[in-house]
Structure 1
Amino acid sequence: MDLIRHVRYFLAVTEERHFGRAAARLGIAQPSLSQRVQRLERELGVRLFDRTSRGVELTEGGRLLLTEARSLIARADTLLGVAARVRGGAAGVLRAAVPPELGGAVVAALVGGFRDRSPGVRLALRELGAMAQLTELRAGTLDAGVLRHPVDVAGLDLGEVLCRPYGVVLPSAPNGEVLPRAPGIAAGPGTAPPPDGETGPPVRLTSLGGLDLVLFPQPSAPALHAEILALCRRHGFEPGTVIAGQDPEFVDGMVLSGTAVTFATRDRKLPPGTAWHPLEGEPLLEQVSAAWLRGRRDDPVVRLFAEVALTVLTERGGMVPVMETAAARRATLSGPAYGYTV
């Protein structure tokens, strides 16, 4: 027996004090309503109404149950209302993740933008590498994420793939003082490195020969790791050693030593003594997109996360659709299986 529905019938008869009027209000036949009230009485073991020539009156047992019946229906309506808000994306929790080094301004805008557009939903955001995100998305412990490509996207749906160029971080000098360049990095006579944190002149990958490369640990994104190294070699840069490093202080220290370089997007916070240089021809592109488990494309909260991520990544992250870039147009890209491109 559907207890909630039968209690609603009981309350309708109580308020109308007449089976015929209650049946008309509920949109059912009077005999059917009478049968259902009788079934509720049998289920509760309590006679609820006395039938009279003018209608019905509550029994003493019915009066005692009336308060609880109203409370039950009120709680049921509250439950159904919350469920409707969750279905509609107005309440609940969204478990999401972003990759490391996405940028503080981007993360802040993502959290704020999601909160503004759906204040009833709490965004439980974590930082996770690509492999960890894939594992949790497929296990159902993560609802949505921002993935850095290339990754195996089998079983996933993706938002639009966006990109931005990577540059190289090199030592700089304050006040325009000329510092010795690391081996292999050519500079014209009297050329000074840019001041701390500034953008320097473009650098060719071939000019980085002989230097070590500090790169994120290979297990966190093996396909991307392999693609970066392959692209470096295609453009004439064979790192002396590939050093696994993700802690910013370690990475910065290696760059400051003059023996290693690292790739980064322009919005990366740089330590004193370093500067960001674009790579000539933009051979390296960071590519990201929102992702979620296939079958959840109609979930309004997941859809909202994807929309906010797209807006934030373009407006605050400086990203553009991948096929709008000159480098991407030169390459044959079949989809988001590519991360860095030539």
Structure 2
Amino acid sequence: MTLVTDPSAPRIAIVGATGAVGGTLIDLIERRGLRYRAVELVASARSAGAELTVDGRSYPVHAVEDFDFSTVDLAFFSAGTEASEKWVPVATAAGAVVIDNTIAFRMDPDTPLVVPQVNAHELDRRPVSGVIANPNCSTIPLVRVLRGIEERWGVRQAVVSTYQAASGLGHPGVDELKESSRAALDHPGEEYPGKEFVPSLAFNVIPKIDRFLDTGFTLEEQKMLQESRKILGLPHLDVTTTCVRVPVVNGHSEAVWIECQAPVDRAELVEVIAALPEVTVHDRESPREFPTPATVKDPDRVHVGRIRVNPNNPRAFWLWVVADNLTIGAALNAIQIAEELIARGTL
């Protein structure tokens, strides 16, 4: 049990508790033994009154409109950008520190954007805004790998193609993928009236995530550039991305091409990546081994394979990266931020 009476343990709230990331947060609190002296579950009014279990105890879900944030020290927000824009200022004004899992505050200069394995030093002090931003689900595994490469060889450019799962849109995305796949099998040739994915994601790939910008890139692609620069502290880092939705239930993948400042030896590259915190290299022994969303066993680690140095340009190489977008890409990063805040006495 992680419910304690220790007054140094935080009182926590999970806003968006009934969603996919909220459920993963609850699971991780239990699995990692995050100590707390009170937990409050919060969601939209339509979910108020539901009951959820944390550490074997049943808790009611409160409507965010009625919740008193002065009763908590730390609030996890994962209820969507619109909810964060409206309610995070209410929470911080009441004295809570917020860990926000939306785009709402990521590029705010007074809000640190944190991946603990990369820039945990940002948590040494309480943020001016009262908010710590959780990065995009595809940015997190990318910067965790780029950190070690930048430190050893320097990064000139990264070109990334993502293969993002339906769970990136939460329970509605997963439900629609399953329903549209059944419909496509039962009624081939008929157009599925999708809401989350247009065109339908069933047996399809969609090279668009989030809205188009005037540049021709999507907001998801812009996020990966801006967020990587901020997290790594490299304002001129060159990252260009194509973000693609694929008919996978859970687990994002990335094909990453990186050009460094100096020639790279594959054996050393493998060891540098394998030494990074909570990273598994699958082709360390054999280049024929690789991770996939369906086969990785540990959702709490970043999985890397297909490590190939370009024979025509020894400064450049390819990686294949797989990470669970609900854990690594969202809830686990948020929990690890909370663990660092507690360890550093920042709350």
TM-score by shorter chain over 0.5:
no
